[in-house]
Amino acid sequence: MQRLLLLTNFMAQGNRSASGLWLAIGLISLALSGSLTHPAHAQPGLSEERKIELLIRSVENSNNTFIRGGSEYSAQEAGSHMRMKWSRAGKKRVNTARLFIKYIASESSLLGTPYYMKKPDGTKIKSRDYLLQRLHEIESQGKS
């Protein structure tokens, strides 16, 4: 309800352009449907920061080798690297597990090349895909 009041104030302050109107209508619809306050993928009791920590730990505790910039690193080094990047990017800016995967743990911010996880059998998977699978598992555990 508070969001509805904020949107009403937004429109009352003279923000009546066509795009502003459609934005306000869309946000009002989302607020009334509950989509803004209760996302479908939300898991009660498990914060986004906790999900990110669980993702990093899943990398650190894996038997995989982390490939970054063409060089191989241990799983523990990968976890340290992800924590360092997350800290530098700002935990308040990268504040969801999906943003973390997209902007921190998927590719080199300098080279733009993807990160990979190499399994003990030698097969490689993109870090993004590995972490999205882990995130799905983390979010599913609370629903069962």
Interval 10-33 mean pLDDT? 43
Q: What is the DSSP letter of 43?
A: -
State yes or no: pLDDT of 34 exceeds 50.
no
Neighbours of 91 (CB within 10 A): 13
State yes or no: pLDDT of 103 exceeds 90.
yes
State yes or no: pLDDT of 99 exceeds 80.
yes
Residue 132 is predicted with a pLDDT of 98
State yes or no: pLDDT of 6 exceeds 70.
no
- Binning pLDDT at 50, 70 and 90, where does residue 90 land? very high
Interval 42-46 mean pLDDT? 61
State yes or no: pLDDT of 76 exceeds 90.
yes
- Binning pLDDT at 50, 70 and 90, where does residue 141 land? confident
* Domain layout of the chain by residue ranges: 2-33, 48-141
Highest mean pLDDT among 3-12, 24-33, 43-52, 74-83: 74-83
- Binning pLDDT at 50, 70 and 90, where does residue 45 land? low
State yes or no: pLDDT of 29 exceeds 60.
no
Range 55-78 burial, b when 16+ CB lie within 10 A, else e: bbebbbebebbbbbeeeebebeeb
Q: Where do runs of H (alpha helix) occur along the chain? A: 2-12, 18-33, 48-60, 75-89, 97-103, 127-141
Q: Is the pTM of this model over 0.85?
A: no
